[in-house]
Amino acid sequence: MWLRTRVTISESHRRSHAMLVLRGWSTASEVYWDGELLNRNGWLGPQGEQPGSWHQQLALSPARAQAGTHTLLVRVSNEQFAERPWQPTAVLTTGALHLAQQQAAGSSAMLIIGMLVASALFCGLLYVGFARQRSYLSLIVYCGLHALIIYAGLLGAARDASPAEYFLFVHDVSYLALLANNLCLLTYLVLEFRLPQGRWWLAGTLAFSVAAYGWLPVNPHFVVFTVVLVAAGLVAVRLRPEASGWALAGIVAMAGLTFMGYLRLLPLAYYWGIVCFIGIMAISIGRQLVQRYREQQEAQLRSVRLENELLRKNIQPHFLFNTLMSLQELIEENPKQANQLIDALAAEFELVSSIAEEKLISIEEELQICRTHLRIMGFRRQSEFVLETRGLLGTEQVPPATFQTLIENGLTHGYAQRGTGRFVLTKEPLVRGVRYRLFNDSDAAACSRPVVEGTGSRYVKMRLEESFPGAWHLRSAPVNGGWAVEIDLLEPSR
């Protein structure tokens, strides 16, 4: 095949070292300048065709690069790579300009590779340092594959690269890596934002990639993936707007920069889009980690406070000093009861100390604490308090001192000089969870005074939130014959 074109060299270019750069004239070609053979690249076919280089840089001597119109003639044969896309280019430039362009492209590529490798290392540190979250692995692969694509592009752009090497590095490796990358990005979104039906998102995208491989060009492929990624980002924003907004912004920025590259407004725009996306995600992940760290700190602090509060309940002045004064009086009046009160007090201290560090204890242990406390208060008030249970197995897990605190509240507000008191703890199944109901036959309901929330109620609520975050309800209200507190513990939604 012969291809011919006319080339005009102006006066201003005449004094420069002109250079003819040809790319993609696979498989073999002969270049003629004004009818003279300038270069033979490979050996022309059809029989015995030998491939030449993908790139040809041909210097034009001053005699050949005179101002005026010249004829460029290329004889080409393409038997071996006839099925490959064929887009040969020929550019007349100068040696200095060509060198500068090559250096700029190489520097940009190395800069982006460095950024991507650094990002991959950063994600690796995040993966190792923060609970081995699998979404970070997706980002590591994403960054690594992009670095590989750019490096393959550099190999393909080497001066002596053959057409076979060029097609391998620039077409095949890039195409496969692009498919894998988009899957990685989708995997990251699915894992990071716990998208519903995540497997279907991934399976559908993988099926499309396999089906479209080989016949769908890169650009339409990219458009399809961008649509899928934006859709996943929108779903994530709807479910978890606090964190996923950044991810969506990153995807949109990446798509926008890529489109600029398509319009040839920005060199290496797709890769700058990747860097932009990684940068935005780094900010987003950083914010999330700071938030998570703060939440962990607050949770630890809350646990310590609750433990401290539980231990303090038994040494708070109102409980301890009134108990000690009651004990002083019993020593005078009824030494036997005084001994029993000391035993009960020691038992409560021992029980509370043994469970103070626990977030959950068995209800059997909780009932022991409750009954011991009722014995102590029975001595102090010179009354008889009983605790009945219904429907309990004994192995149920509850936060420590929850019902003891509620019993203490009941005793405080509704048993002034009553002589007797009855508490009933019942467990009932709910459609999705379990309900504990603590009834007391106190006079609190009969009093016109409103029962305000005290430190006891706040303690119970904080304990419930610590062990069953967002999955509990507590109600307290007068009922027929007394007062009832209901605690619903709900099963976590799937």
Partner 1 sequence: MRVLIVEDEALVASRIVRLLREVLGERLSSVAVQHSLDSAQFFLQDTPIDLLLLDLNLNGQDGFNLLQQAVAGSFHTIVVSANQQRAIEAFDYGVLDFVGKPVTAERLQKALARFGHRELRAAAPLKYLALRRRQAIRLLDIGEVLFIKGAGIYSELHLRNGSVELHDKSLQRLQEVLPPDFQRVHKSYIVRLVDVRKLLSHGSSKYELELRNGTLLPVGRERYKELKQVLG
**Does residue 218 contact residue 170 with C-beta atoms inside 8 Å?**
no
Query: Closer to partner 1 at the Cβ: 380 or 437?
Result: 380
Q: Out of 381, 439, 468, 482, name the contact with partner 1 by CB under 8 A.
A: 381
Q: Write the single-letter amino acid at 260.
A: M
User: Residue 339 interacts with partner 1 (CB under 8 A)?
Assistant: no
User: Residue 221 interacts with partner 1 (CB under 8 A)?
Assistant: no
Q: Out of 25, 33, 166, 379, name the contact with partner 1 by CB under 8 A.
A: 379
272-302 b/e with 16+ CB inside 10 Å = b? bbbbbbbebbbebbeeeeeeeeeeeeeeeee
Query: Closer to partner 1 at the Cβ: 290 or 446?
Result: 446
Query: Closer to partner 1 at the Cβ: 126 or 376?
Result: 376
Q: Residue 450 Cβ, how far from partner 1 at the closest point, in Å?
A: 11
User: Residue 342 interacts with partner 1 (CB under 8 A)?
Assistant: no
Q: Which of 48, 44, 157, 173 is nearest to 105 (CA)?
A: 157
Q: Out of 50, 103, 300, 322, name the contact with partner 1 by CB under 8 A.
A: 322
Query: Closer to partner 1 at the Cβ: 101 or 383?
Result: 383
User: Residue 450 interacts with partner 1 (CB under 8 A)?
Assistant: no
Among the listed ranges 16-24, 238-246, 270-278, 313-321, the one in contact with partner 1 (CB under 8 A) is: 313-321
User: Residue 449 interacts with partner 1 (CB under 8 A)?
Assistant: yes
Query: Closer to partner 1 at the Cβ: 77 or 442?
Result: 442
Among the listed ranges 2-10, 51-59, 407-415, 468-476, the one in contact with partner 1 (CB under 8 A) is: 407-415
Q: Out of 26, 27, 326, 467, name the contact with partner 1 by CB under 8 A.
A: 326
Beta strand ranges found along 418-459 (DSSP E): 420-430, 433-440
Residue 263 burial class via C-beta count within 10 angstroms: exposed 0-12, middle 13-18, buried 19 and up: exposed
Beta strand ranges found along 182-314 (DSSP E): none
DSSP string across 139-190: HHHHHHHHHHHHHHHHHHTSTT--HHHHIIIIIIIHHHHHHHHHHHHHHHHH
User: Residue 380 interacts with partner 1 (CB under 8 A)?
Assistant: yes
User: CA–CA separation, 450 vs 438, rounded Å?
Assistant: 19
User: CA–CA separation, 282 vs 412, rounded Å?
Assistant: 54
Q: Out of 35, 332, 393, 480, name the contact with partner 1 by CB under 8 A.
A: 332
Query: DSSP secondary-structure letter at 50?
Result: B
Q: Residue 162 CB: number of other CB atoms within 10 A?
A: 16
Which residue ranges make up the site for partner 1 (CB under 8 A)? 317-318, 320-322, 324-326, 328-330, 332-333, 379-382, 409, 412-417, 449, 451, 454
